């Protein structure tokens, strides 16, 4: 059984799913690769979901920089390697796809790293939003570029757009 719940957040309702092995999904309201809900998904209380909701609430209140949750993403060995590396990008910083590939010891695998990054089932918790283009441009993100910008601004990795407006 996979327990799931909806969490209200500043970026819209997030779908969280977990089983006894750990958190499996954090889904945005608009998500390019939605997790497939089937009969094994049940709207139910679960201690991992409760912990995830608490920690995500702290994150959105700027009171948490790292998540301490049991995680159970499902993917290929390469995807799992990329997703684990995302957790090593420090809060408030960004890496390019090339930096992430280099960190994995696969400097030529930027496209494969980008594809794995795009399939991350645990965004925010495994911070794929911290990966940007080599030029510094915000690039594709399953939750949409406005969400990516919001998360990076929240973490201080980008100046808030309203700060630019105040200067003009």
Are the C-beta atoms of 150 and 53 separated by less than 8 Å? no
Q: Print burial letters for 70-86: b (CB count within 10 Å at least 16), e (below 16).
A: ebbbeeeeebeebbebb
Of 25, 56, 125, 128, which residue is the catalytic one?
Answer: 128
* Among 125, 104, 115, CA closest to 22: 125
Separation of alpha carbons 105 and 38, rounded Å: 37
Q: Is 128 a catalytic residue?
A: yes
Residue positions annotated with a catalytic role: 128
């Amino acid at each position: 059984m996979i327990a799931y719940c909806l969490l209200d957040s500043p970026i819209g309702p997030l779908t969280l799913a977990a089983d006894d092995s750990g958190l499996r999904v954090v889904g945005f309201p608009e998500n390019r690769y939605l997790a497939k809900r089937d009969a094994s998904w049940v709207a139910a209380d679960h201690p991992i979901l409760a912990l995830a909701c608490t920690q995500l609430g702290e994150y959105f209140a700027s009171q948490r920089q790292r998540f301490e949750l049991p995680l159970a993403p499902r993917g290929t060995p390469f995807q799992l390697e990329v997703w684990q590396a995302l957790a090593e990008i420090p809060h408030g910083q960004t890496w390019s796809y090339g930096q992430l590939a280099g960190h994995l010891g696969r400097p030529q695998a930027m496209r494969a790293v980008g594809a794995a990054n795009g399939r991350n089932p645990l965004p925010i918790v495994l911070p794929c939003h911290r990966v940007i283009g080599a030029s510094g441009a915000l690039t594709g993100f399953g939750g949409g570029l406005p969400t990516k910008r919001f998360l990076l601004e929240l973490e201080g990795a980008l100046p808030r757009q309203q700060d630019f407006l105040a200067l003009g």
